Every structure is written in structure tokens, then in C-alpha cells.
Amino acid sequence: VITTRCSLRCRECANLMPYFHNPENYETDYLENTLDKLLEYIDEIHELRVLGGEPFVHPNLDKILSNILQHPQIKKIVIFTNGTILPAKSSLIQILKNKRVSITISDYGDYSKEKINIIKLCKKNNIKCSVNFIPLWLSFGNLETRKRSKKELIRQFQRCNNICKSYLEGKIYWCERQASGNKLGFVNGNDYVDIMNSHLSRSEMQELIRQYCSNTTYITACLQCDKGTDSCKEVPIAEQLPKGGSL
């Protein structure tokens, strides 16, 4: 996660971006330091996803990508965009041409107003690009704490079947919702891996990461989420909050 700023205000945002009343772009040096620290313990990352918010709102995305590309352990870099901002910075376009970098456009219909122009830009510059169209979203519900038994939480966790982990402010989280919820102070519990503030040896930290990523029970954030339960309902994609409206 490189920014909590976004060009949209989606009511059902799984990453909870509308809850950030003072969104920010993370400093380039800070992002580089947290990535360097993570890679002290990780031998290889098959796919690193650059997320927000909206990654293209970050003014230094070119420098961020350049820093990431310095690490051969990272095999593939995918920028996930909502298709609202057309990259125009020449240095950024040059970096996007790298064969290890690609763009995935989350197609939100009319809200993704720059989708066609992004596709044209990518074709012109031989940039890898794909479009991910999802006709409906799932609502993960509000952030109130649910009353669920341990058995129900384990079943929810298994049905959720989240694969990709989130890395925010030097901490590994099970998912983006948990990461954002923890930063916002809505999600309780310390079931994450703090890479930056550890006195563990390399082998001890690697084992901790291994155990965390192979968790088969549940995390405390499941109590504030409906994904993986029968309460998780389909909703229209990217429904926007009214201007000035809040959650």
C-alpha cells in the first residue's frame, strides 16, 4: 500500500478508503525502507501488487517503482488502478515499459473514465495491461463487532479463502481490510507480523512469517467482516458516496 488517497469514494470499498478523513501519500524513502526490511526475510516475491487508494495519485510513483525494480527477488509488479487517472509523467511511462511491470485496470464502468485512454497508452508504449471486469461487488458489512462462535469464525475464515497478504507501514496483514482497519483503530488485536520493530533473528522472523501465512484458524478482524458468511451480499460495483457524505 503506497497511499490512502483515492480518486473515488466507493461505499463498499473493501480497503476502507472512505474512512480515511486525512488520507496520505507515503514518503518514497519510507516505502523503500519498509520494503528493504521485508526483503531481509523474504527470499522471493512472485507478485508484488502496488495498491492504494489509487496508486496513480501518488506523485512519486515512478521513483517507487524504480526502487522496487532494484530488487531481483521481486519477479512481477502489478499496479492496480480504478481507471480514473491517465499517467502522463514521462519518467513514469518509461518505468511502466519494464517487462516486470504491468497494469491491471479494475473496470468500474462509467466511473473508470480513463480506462480507454490507459489501454491506448499501454498499447502505444508496449506496456503490459489487463482489464478486470467484475459485474457485482460483495459487501463485507460495517465495522461493528459481530457475535460469532469459534467454530463459525473458522468456517468463515476457510470460506473467505484470501490468498494475497497486505503490507502496510512495515506490518504484514492477512488482508487489506484488516490492514486499513488496524491503522484506523477500528480493528482490535495484534495478529499481524511487525517487520520493523522486531529483535528476532532472521531465521526466527522467517519462521514467524511462515506460521502467520499458513494460518488455518481465523484472525480477530473476521469479527468485523462478513466475507465468508451468508451475510455477505452482492451490491452494485463502485457505488459512490455523495460529496461530503460519510460512512
Report the alpha-carbon distance of residue 193 to residue 240 in Å, rounded: 33
pTM across the whole model: 0.94
Sign of CA dihedral 91, 79, 124, 116: negative
pLDDT digits (tens, 9 = 90+) for 145-170: 999 999 999 999 999 988 889 999 99
Cis before residue 53, ω within 30 degrees of 0? yes
pLDDT digits (tens, 9 = 90+) for 34-81: 999 999 999 999 999 999 999 999 999 999 999 999 999 999 999 999
User: What DSSP state is assigned to residue 3?
Assistant: B
Helical H segments across the chain, by residue range: 28-39, 61-69, 90-96, 115-125, 150-160, 176-184, 202-213
